Structure 1
């Protein structure tokens, strides 16, 4: 058990790192049924919060209940702040400070989360898996089962549907209630099938149904077990989340043309032909505004995502890219621009652009589809070989390939309203934004590796306490880094991945000094869901 150091920030000081921000959407085009369904889906989100707390740590649910009781009894600002920070960060660890606990008596964040026994080693797991049938081994390494220790002390599997039944049964009922209310039949079908999956533990069909939601649906939502970042042992187990959205039809139509460019990017990747993705399926793009969230949605808020992660679903029906416009605007205005003013020269501020930020986030997500997803000459996924480093290298790949794609699309005339210097300069400022999430987090560590590499190669330059882009060297550095990361992935070379992480996944004194100067800039936003508050009062 740990105690809090006297020189660590207080809970109130940590909360000031997150700017309170109302996130709204245009609901005027929704039917009454759509609006009532949003309330149901917000209730599902609250239930999935409880599932997530069970997944993340064996003590999280009890600690959350204690904090709620303390806040209700004391009604003090300190108790309220402690509960607020716990729920914002989805646990007692500060992700922006290397998962430092901010509540006395809480130990280190377990790499096993609560989806494996906390005392289980990777060696014990791998030895046990060898004793299993083919089907059970697949489940053990898969997304939707918990590994527990039975009364005899040996490992065994338990399905999510059994372990989290207390919350998934009512969530399933609410999903079906919402399905009866929504105006779009394809979205209704997804909600009904995902509600069934909560009970059957079979998610493949509902993943495909999600991918086939009509572009005419006014509502969008990603609800279920998706991301594997919190499984720091193997990056295998999926954690429950709920992201509830209203579609932005105009912006969605505008951006759809960029999916047509993914094959062009793949064809021109700076890697040997045998590493290129021969089964590339360009993802459809949906632009939305977020109205509520729950589960695996800790700050920093996700600004875009490319789902599903289940390789079987991807092989059947591809993937879908969701851009969350109101979250991106909030991050750009409240975090990225203030960072840029501190780390860039005044003359470079003219190159900081929301369109470049939005565009790079788009290319990042699209480029998750690019490059090798299977290890060369095997049927193994990259995830299986890189294990705990898979998420970090996948995020770094998408980032740097997104920059590579931007140059290619500018050269081909697909992009004619954003300059390459705007992309590079905005990306530079955004790198510091991501690193402030902490190097214990996949996006933050992935960004630190990229920044260190690009500084070493001269693409970024530090002079007089300011950073800038060297256009003469940046393009080659981006191409070289894209190649290096994709070859590590395509070879499934864990040893090379570890060496790369050890060399570049740390911050030099110039970067560390700049980060200290960002002390008064928010790390991210703290969302206020006004639309749902109002709908709950009405319905």
Structure 2
């Protein structure tokens, strides 16, 4: 009953509405999302400037306006107002409360803690209370329970105006403990890995020590927060979890205050990862990777990357250092033009609509560096055996499989944060020689390599007829494959990580826009070439859950 509600047709309103289709009219198939920037979270046609002007005039309303679980509407006087789900859809809110509360009471005999969480969550969602308390309760559930549930307005990808509003989702999961040894070892190395990242020490994420003064942040982690990495099987997905793509993992909660106080939980959906690897990622990899590296495509490599991607969401800055002019009335004897006030705001708030793309890219890049730091022995788990949990062979599998998965993400269209983040990586890797185009069967690098191939594709565009290729016709470029130089791969991603971490730490939205515009907004010819090659591979899974 808990699951059925979120999947009903009228519940589509809760996560902003969907207008998604697959466009097959071009040279390759791609998901098209026609949802407007305001989605269903703000009145139709609302702009960022309108909201900002209203908040400037009514600063006391900002907190409620920007809360993850409120919906912004206009009153009879055409002013913006923030409403809860009960205000906007009272009947739907009643049904939501009834089913989630009932689920909690039914399971309380077998699992009192989970039952109590669901009962409290139902009340908070229905009454429009801040969700921090129940988010904290969910983190505290930890790894002690075989069954787990995530429900509420959580992921903010659909809010293209501010990245503040959560789309409603429900995920029901069953624990799969087979990866426990590796996950615990990786979690133990998080702090050591973060210390190797190319960023300022003050951006290392941690809780505030009792020795610190209020507002002060020191370089060392004295009290690292708790972090959980859990392998589960998804037994039901509803709402944002399954649209437009069924996720492979999540890192929650998103609230930086809760993360800093209680830590985070990372769920890897083992059954989803396994199926996507078999049906989508491996077939893509076999079409784009050089034959000498196709053996590196593996389920283990995909699982490693997803694990480290989720852990890496918790690495790096949580707050941005924002410099703001000091108003002249505050210090009338000095020129305000020469003075700035340093303040800290959550990275999500500093980067607004750019946050999701930058953060997803950062998690991918830092996750790759994490795996290679372990494989190269730069960081070690002192509590484990001498053999690293990820060795060099496994790290190569992780990177090769991730490369194939980048093309999978791009096929969801460049309105998607994951697609933008993936395209940034592909363009960066190619520009820095970490991947190159080579004739299959030839493992020697051509000095003119990529440039010559790309120029040839452009020059012979009439021969590079994408529509003919989709219909099965061959071209003279069919034997081009991507080859990975793993040393350049590590070096170039380290440089990209530095840029991403500094964008987040400094809250530099302009730099974020420039990075996205240069590397994540347009498909280069060689990427289009491979998207055509993989056009017969499924874009995503159509999952059906047996709830009998």
TM-score, structure 2 as length reference: 0.79
Aligned pairs (5 A) from 1:337-352 = 337-352=282-297
Where do 1:486-497 residues align within 5 Å? 486-497=501-512
**Partner of residue 130, structure 1:** 56
Which runs of structure 2 are paired with 1:238-257 in the superposition (5 Å)? Answer: 238-252=166-180, 254-257=182-185
Report the CA distance between 1:519 and its aligned residue.
Answer: 1.0
Residues 325 and 95 of structure 1: is their aligned pair in 2 closer, same or farther, counting only changes over 3 Å? farther
The answer to whether 1:315 aligns with 2:243 is no
2:410 corresponds in structure 1 to 435
Aligned-pair CA distance for 1:416: 4.1
Hey, what does 1:10 align to over in structure 2?
A: none
Aligned counterpart, 1:227: 155
Unaligned runs of 5+ in 2: 208-223, 322-341, 378-386, 440-479
Displacement of 1:239 in angstroms is 1.1
Q: Distance in 2 between matches of 1:264 and 1:526?
A: 40
User: Matched residue of 2:71: which SS?
Assistant: strand
Aligned counterparts of 1:95 and 1:166: Cα–Cα separation in 2: 36
1:311 Cα deviation after fit: 2.2
Deviations 1:377-436 (A, max 9, x none): 422111122111100000000000000100111123532454332222111111111111
The answer to whether 1:218 aligns with 2:146 is yes
Could you tell me which residue of structure 1 aligns to residue 531 of structure 2? 515
* Contact 1:52/1:241, CA 8 A, preserved across alignment: no
Q: Tell me if the contact between 2:14 and 2:168 (Cα under 8 Å) persists in the aligned partners.
A: no
Change (3 A) 1:466 1:282: farther
Kept after mapping to 2: 8 A contact 1:98/1:440: no
Distance verdict in 2 for CA 1:350–1:98, change over 3 Å: closer
1:295-444 paired onto structure 2 within 5 Å: 295-296=239-240, 297-376=242-321, 377-412=342-377, 414-417=388-391, 418-444=393-419
Deviation at residue 98 of structure 1 after TM alignment = 6.7
1:100 and 2:26 are equivalent in the alignment: no
Give the drift of 1:282. Answer: 4.6
**1:362, CA displacement in angstroms?**
0.4
3-state SS, counterpart of residue 134 of structure 2: helix
1:249 and 1:419, CA in 2 relative to 1: closer, same or farther beyond 3 A? Answer: closer
Q: CA deviation at 1:44?
A: 3.5
1:455 to 430, 436, 444: 430
What's the counterpart of residue 27 of structure 1?
A: none
Task: Give matches, 1:3-152, under 5 Å.
Answer: 40-47=1-8, 50-57=10-17, 90-94=18-22, 100=32, 108-134=34-60, 136-152=61-77
Contact 2:409-2:419 at 8 Å conserved across structures: yes
Q: Which moved more, 1:416-425 or 1:285-294?
A: 416-425
Aligned 8 A contact 2:163 2:355 in 1: yes
Secondary structure in structure 2 of the residue aligned to 1:263: helix
* 1:280-299 equivalence runs, <5 A: 280-296=224-240, 297-299=242-244
Secondary structure of 1:100's counterpart equals strand
Q: Look up the match of 2:457.
A: none
- Please give the root-mean-square deviation of Cα atoms over the aligned residues, in Å: 1.9
Query: Contact 1:459 / 1:474 at 8 angstroms: preserved in 2?
Result: yes
Is contact 2:360–2:421 with CA below 8 Å preserved after alignment?
yes
Which of the pair has the greater relative contact order for Cα pairs under 8 Å at 6+ separation?
Answer: 1
Provide the C-alpha distance between the structure 2 equivalents of 1:174 and 1:492, rounded to a whole number of angstroms: 41
Whichever structure has more helix as a proportion of its residues is 1
Q: What is the CA distance between 1:169 and its match in structure 2?
A: 1.4
Distance 2:489 2:182 in 1: 29
1:196 and 1:125 map into 2 onto residues whose CA distance is: 29
Distance of 1:242 and 1:414 partners within structure 2: 36
Contact conserved, 2:142 with 2:228, CA < 8 A, in 1?
no
305-314 or 448-457, larger mean C-alpha shift: 305-314
1:226 match: secondary structure? strand
Supply the distance in 2 between the matched residues of 1:253 and 1:205 (Cα, whole angstroms): 31
| TM-superposition CA deviations, 1:328-364 (whole Å, max 9, x none) | 0010000011001100122211111111110110000
* TM-aligned CA deviation for residue 163 of structure 1: 1.4
CA contact (8 A) 1:396 1:446 kept: yes
Cα deviation digits, residues 237-264 of structure 1 (max 9, x gap):
1111001111113334552221111101
User: How far is 1:52 from its partner?
Assistant: 3.4
* Deviation readout 1:451-507 (Å, 9 max, x if unpaired): 101110111111232101112311110110111111111111111111111110122
Contact kept, 8 Å, 2:68 with 2:166, in 1: the verdict is yes
Match of residue 87 from structure 1: none
Pairwise CA distance, 1:55: 4.1
Larger radius of gyration: 2
Q: How far apart, CA to CA, are the structure 2 residues paired with 1:429 and 1:401?
A: 18
SS in 2 for 1:234: coil
Sort the Cα spacing of 1:277 and 1:315 in 2 relative to 1 into closer, same or farther, 3 A: closer
Quote the residue 1:189 is aligned against. 116
Of 249-258 and 380-389, the range deviating more from structure 2? 249-258
For the 8 Å contact 2:97–2:122, the answer to whether it is kept is yes
Give the superposition deviation at 1:307.
0.6
Aligned residues: 453
> How far apart are 1:214 and its partner, in Å?
4.9
SS in 2 for 1:525: coil
User: Residue 289 and residue 419 in structure 1: after superposition, are their counterparts in 2 closer, same or farther (change >3 A)?
Assistant: closer
CA deviation after TM superposition for structure 1 residue 53, in Å: 2.7
